[in-house]
Structure 1
Amino acid sequence: MIPSLSGSAIWAFTGAKAALWVLVLTRLTGLLAAFPMLGSEQMPLQVRAALAAMLATVILPVVPVPPTIPTGLPELVGLMTSELAIGLLLGTVVAWILEAVAFAGMLMDTQMGFSFVQFVDPTTSQSASISGSLMTQIAALLVFITGLHHQMILALVDSYRVAPLGQGMPLQAMGLIALLGQLLAKGFQLAFPVLAVLFLLDMILGISGKFMPQLQLLQLSFPLKIALGMVILGLVLRELGPWLVPLLESAPRVALKLLGG
């Protein structure tokens, strides 16, 4: 063996660096797994693994080194679990914003009558509404257009200041519950124009049917609600970008706040 590599101190240093790289890779894997599009099954596993390994190698030099790095397998597995949970939380904040958009689309489709025409979304392998799938795809494009994927990687680096290695996951449970409520309210806010206009249409048709019983309301309401709903949906799509960009820009700050930052 080469004399410079035979010392136990060299091997201990190398093992500590390898363990640190694995921990950084674990937190980064959680972020990429929950992040929209990047964690999708449509992206090949080899590409996702290579991207995570490359980013972990780039981030490693700026990660604060903890006083002690566990070398035993049980301690390392426990620490990897908390690191994975932190990464998942960072990526889930962005995923929940897109879920709020999908929730708004589901409400719109229910009111327009499109809830009967659901299909399997190839990106999630789950049933999706037409309007929800359309708006979710636009929202996913806005994620990359606004550079949010870069900001979330920077937020992951900053998360080592808020949640250092080896100190577990300092989750703010009440903040997480409040975030869920806010996103549900935002989803309802996005769907409100369609819901309000179609509710008024239902009232008008109900009053008309009261005074003109000969009207075939069932046959008349479906094409009217679909046509009017599509017009309002087109107007909503025009304002989707300005409505969504502030939410996406606040995602890194909100994610760090949930960790106590």
Structure 2
Amino acid sequence: MISDPEGTVLALFAAFCRIGACIMVMPGFSTARVSVQIRLFVAVAVSMAILPIMWNEIYPQISGKGHTYIYIVATETVIGSVIGLIARYYVLGLQFAGTVVTMMMGFNAPPANDVLEDTPENQLTNLISFAGLMLLFMLDFHHVILASVVDSYTVMPLGSGFDQQGVLITLTNALETTFYIMLRLASPFLIYGLLFNIAIGMVNKLAPQIPLYFISLPYLIMGGMFLLYLGIAAMLKLFADGFAPMMQGS
């Protein structure tokens, strides 16, 4: 028997604000292919599952009325959004790396429909970004995010306010880590494209009458595809290995 139904509902809604905001921007669940109803049901189910675990951290802080509870709702929403954005930045980084790989390979095909969003995207970028996201789901990356949400009640307790400087530092560190990891993933293709174009430019100086750029484009694409065939497994492995340390470090 619930002794305080009103307090229980308020505590559940406070937990839903942090968890729902995280799921709202979390990669995979926040895509255009997942309906709003599914996101809502998942957020409510996860909130009901986490509330008994974090009862002692959440329930004592929702006794205040009026503007105090409204402030708690606002801060919890922002904190949950920050946690979800850390994972979102990491997946967007892979999409950016896929775009760089496509450009360095010279594979400038007309964009098609994105697998995850409604915006047009290159086919090779679609392949890389969707494969990376599917690999994260296979490795239960959403469990890592939910564990980070639970741990966040220790770092940023409910009702303690919103640390703007700490949030900005966290997002900056996430972007920095994402940039270095994605640079490492795309570096073979950056070096390949740079060396290939330098070599073609030097050969073009020797024979300016021949349009070597148009002749060399199929070889650039063929070499890039072969390099992608050899390195895509290692690329996705490094991408998956870097996710959990980044979430735990942030």
Task: Please list every run of 5 or more consecutive structure 1 residues that lacks an aligned counterpart in the other structure.
Answer: 256-261
Amino acid at match of 2:124: S
Structure-2 change in CA distance of 1:117 and 1:52 (3 Å):
same
Q: How many Å apart are 1:117 and its aligned residue?
A: 2.4
Aligned equivalent of 1:45, options 30, 36, 39: 36
Aligned equivalent of 1:181, options 148, 173, 176: 176
Q: Which residue in 2 is equivalent to 1:237?
A: 232
Write the distance in 1 (CA, Å) between the matches of 2:61 and 2:181: 44
Write the distance in 2 (CA, Å) between the matches of 1:209 and 1:220: 11
Write the distance in 2 (CA, Å) between the matches of 1:139 and 1:34: 17
**1:50-129 map, 5 Å:** 50-63=41-54, 64-65=57-58, 67-70=60-63, 72-115=65-108, 117-129=110-122
In the alignment, is the contact (CA less than 8 A) between 2:200 and 2:212 conserved in 1?
A: yes
**SS of the counterpart of 1:62?**
coil
Amino acid at match of 1:157: V
Amino acid at match of 2:187: F
Write the distance in 2 (CA, Å) between the matches of 1:209 and 1:66: 72
Write the distance in 1 (CA, Å) between the matches of 2:48 and 2:193: 53
Write the distance in 1 (CA, Å) between the matches of 2:78 and 2:108: 35
Q: How many Å apart are 1:194 and its aligned residue?
A: 1.1
**1:1-261 map, 5 Å:** 13-63=4-54, 64-65=57-58, 67-70=60-63, 72-115=65-108, 117-170=110-163, 171-255=166-250
Q: How many Å apart are 1:116 and its aligned residue?
A: 5.3
In the alignment, is the contact (CA less than 8 A) between 2:200 and 2:213 conserved in 1?
A: no
Q: How many Å apart are 1:71 and its aligned residue?
A: 5.3
Amino acid at match of 2:131: I
Shift >4 Å, 4+ stretches = none
Structure-2 change in CA distance of 1:65 and 1:198 (3 Å):
closer
In the alignment, is the contact (CA less than 8 A) between 1:66 and 1:166 conserved in 2?
A: no
Q: How many Å apart are 1:177 and its aligned residue?
A: 1.7
In the alignment, is the contact (CA less than 8 A) between 2:89 and 2:174 conserved in 1?
A: no
Instruction: Determine what percentage of the aligned residue pairs are the same residue.
Output: 22
Write the distance in 1 (CA, Å) between the matches of 2:147 and 2:86: 15
Q: How many Å apart are 1:179 and its aligned residue?
A: 2.6
Per mean C-alpha deviation after superposition, the further-off stretch among 154-163 and 127-136 is 127-136
In the alignment, is the contact (CA less than 8 A) between 2:181 and 2:242 conserved in 1?
A: no
Q: How many Å apart are 1:234 and its aligned residue?
A: 1.8
Write the distance in 2 (CA, Å) between the matches of 1:114 and 1:75: 55
Write the distance in 2 (CA, Å) between the matches of 1:198 and 1:41: 33
In the alignment, is the contact (CA less than 8 A) between 2:14 and 2:58 conserved in 1?
A: no
In the alignment, is the contact (CA less than 8 A) between 1:40 and 1:124 conserved in 2?
A: yes
Structure-2 change in CA distance of 1:158 and 1:122 (3 Å):
same
Instruction: Give the CA RMSD over aligned residues.
Output: 2.2
Task: Please list every run of 5 or more consecutive structure 2 residues that lacks an aligned counterpart in the other structure.
Answer: none
In the alignment, is the contact (CA less than 8 A) between 2:8 and 2:59 conserved in 1?
A: no
In the alignment, is the contact (CA less than 8 A) between 1:101 and 1:135 conserved in 2?
A: yes
In the alignment, is the contact (CA less than 8 A) between 1:105 and 1:131 conserved in 2?
A: yes
Write the distance in 1 (CA, Å) between the matches of 2:112 and 2:179: 23
Q: How many Å apart are 1:227 and its aligned residue?
A: 0.9
Taking structure 2 as the reference length, the TM-score comes to 0.89
Per mean C-alpha deviation after superposition, the further-off stretch among 174-183 and 20-29 is 174-183
Structure-2 change in CA distance of 1:44 and 1:176 (3 Å):
closer
In the alignment, is the contact (CA less than 8 A) between 1:148 and 1:249 conserved in 2?
A: yes
